[in-house]
Amino acid sequence: MSASDLRVGDDGLARCGWVGDDAEYRRYHDEEWGFPLHGDRALFEKLSLEGFQAGLSWITILRRRPTFRAAFREFDIDAVAAFDETDIARLLADAGIIRNRAKVEATISNARITRELIAGDPGALDRLVWSFAPTARRNRPRGFAELPAVTPEATALSAALKKLGYRFVGPTTMYALMQSAGLVDDHLEGCWRAPESG
């Protein structure tokens, strides 16, 4: 483990080094990242934000999340599924989000697919995503070098979503979703959020 893999904050707690000194990153790390997330709307939001993150840093998305939520009607699946060209134009003019037409259109398309998926079957997106959670616990990573960029489960989740028509759901993006939604817990050994450490 290198010195940068863990960082001790001014509160005396050791955290995964990617947190750095950013207060919002610290809150996200301590309260969200790696915690099990359930619910169709919550997972649709996470799926959407991970898609917007592709090619960017997560802190960029995290800092803009309140604006994303306002722009996408709190990621209400029915509301986003009903977006039209006027909404696309509104979103592409909103400097508070990532103004990428392909990602905006994919989010709307993904909402429509999700609406169909859960119609008459609430919880279907939740069950689909969580069906790919790894069953075997690998050893807790001791450093960043031990964290995979992709896993067989993330690849399988990506394939299942793509088969349904979802976009911006590549295997690397899906592994990031698995980490952030708590399907896997990649807090490093020694991090206060790692169960055996804290």
Is 38 part of any known ligand binding site?
A: no
Q: What SS3 state is found at 8?
A: strand
Residues with catalytic roles:
28, 50, 58
Angle between helices 171-180 and 152-164 (to 10 degrees): 110
Give the whole-angstrom CA distance, residue 169 versus residue 187.
Answer: 23
Instruction: Residue 117: name the closest of 41, 176, 49, 45 by CA.
Output: 41
Is 16 part of any known ligand binding site?
A: yes
Instruction: Residue 125: name the closest of 7, 17, 38 by CA.
Output: 38
Is 81 part of any known ligand binding site?
A: no
Is 187 part of any known ligand binding site?
A: yes
| Residue 7, token pair as written in the block | 């960082």
Instruction: Residue 29: name the closest of 194, 172, 197 by CA.
Output: 194
Angle between helices 101-118 and 85-92 (to 10 degrees): 130
Q: What SS3 state is found at 170?
A: coil
129 contacts 154 by C-beta, under 8 angstroms: no
Q: Return the number of other C-beta atoms located less than 10 Å from residue 111's C-beta.
A: 24
Q: Residues marked as binding for Zn(2+)? A: 16, 29, 187, 191
Q: Residues marked as binding? A: 16, 29, 187, 191
